[in-house]
Amino acid sequence: MSGKVVVLLGPPGVGKGTQGVRLSRDRSWAHVSTGDLLRAARKAGTELGRRARAYMDRGRLVPDDVIVGLVREHLRTLPAEQGVVFDGFPRTVVQAEALEAVLTDAGRQVDRVVLLDADAELLVKRIAGRRSSPNGRVYNVYFDPPKAEGVCDETGEPLVHRPDDLPATVRARLDVYHEVTAPLVGFYEGRGVLTRVNGEGEMTEIQQAIAGAVGLSQAVAGSPVLA
């Protein structure tokens, strides 16, 4: 039997990464974040990493053919019975159609798309406030600051502000989301697989709402599932 395929959709900063890790970790599913794959390629200095850099640092999308090739290759490395959580992919209708084609070839389909959403001002604070430690720990100067400014609590190393997390780039990324990614809401609604979850609530509550959506169970009263 093939594993479930879940897409986490939503604007930058809404918590797709955090929730993607939680959802996949609890079930030993693969967490496929195209942003993470691109950052790894940049770090490794590959041709793909070099091509992606200029787009990423300006908050623009990397071209569809590059991303689709990357995802197709990555999916080949995963066993068919393993569930997959996509985070940050697809981001355009072209990517969504390509994903459908790749999955159909493998006898699979997108089982559920969870749309996480939150107020734009909160998103800007969440992203522009983000600081990363070289050990992977992520802080937020507004919501989860380190004990000493600019320094990792665990390693004492200086924290890094990702170039694509700078305020001007954040605004560009939000614009791109509204222009080219938001149409995916209608695309997946039309396929009857979309569930909306409020991304402003408490982390564990959101996690439960997503788990409920993925299990295709009904939302319980008072949970952040909207529809």
Q: How far is the CB of 23 from ligand AMP (least distance, A)?
A: 16
Residues within the interface to ligand AMP (CB under 6 A)? 12, 34-35, 38, 55-56, 59-62, 67, 88-89, 91, 95, 164, 173
Q: Is 76 a catalytic residue?
A: no
Q: How many whole angstroms separate alpha carbon 19 and alpha carbon 200?
A: 12
Contact assessment for residue 112 and residue 195, using Cβ atoms and an 8 Å cutoff: yes
Give the residue nearest to ligand AMP (CB).
35
Residue 62 or residue 116: which is nearer to ligand AMP going by CB? 62
Q: How far is the CB of 1 from ligand AMP (least distance, A)?
A: 27
Q: How far is the CB of 223 from ligand AMP (least distance, A)?
A: 26
DSSP class per residue in 166-197: SHHHHHHHHHHIIIIITHHHHHHHHTT-EEEE
- Among residues 4, 22, 91, 108, the one annotated as catalytic is 91
Q: Is 16 a catalytic residue?
A: yes
- Among residues 22, 126, 131, 173, the one annotated as catalytic is 173
Residue 131 or residue 212: which is nearer to ligand AMP going by CB? 131
Q: How many whole angstroms separate alpha carbon 166 and alpha carbon 101?
A: 35
The alpha carbon of residue 166 and the mean position of all alpha carbons in its chain are separated, in whole angstroms, by: 18
Q: Is 60 a catalytic residue?
A: no
Residue 50 or residue 148: which is nearer to ligand AMP going by CB? 50
Pairing type for strands 194-198 and 112-117 reads parallel
The string over 171-210, giving b where at least 16 C-beta atoms fall within 10 Å of a residue's C-beta and e elsewhere, is ebbbebbeebbeebbebbeeeebbbbbbbebeeeebbbbb
SS3 (DSSP) at 16: helix
Q: How far is the CB of 56 from ligand AMP (least distance, A)?
A: 4
- Among residues 16, 22, 112, 196, the one annotated as catalytic is 16
Q: Is 196 a catalytic residue?
A: no
Q: How far is the CB of 34 from ligand AMP (least distance, A)?
A: 3
- Among residues 108, 130, 131, 196, the one annotated as catalytic is 130
Q: Is 162 a catalytic residue?
A: yes
Residue 30 or residue 56: which is nearer to ligand AMP going by CB? 56
Contact assessment for residue 215 and residue 137, using Cβ atoms and an 8 Å cutoff: no
List C-alpha distances in Å: 24 to 135, 140, 215: 21, 23, 13
- Among residues 42, 53, 162, 171, the one annotated as catalytic is 162
SS3 (DSSP) at 203: helix
Residue 67 or residue 159: which is nearer to ligand AMP going by CB? 67
Active-site residue numbers? 16, 91, 130, 162, 173
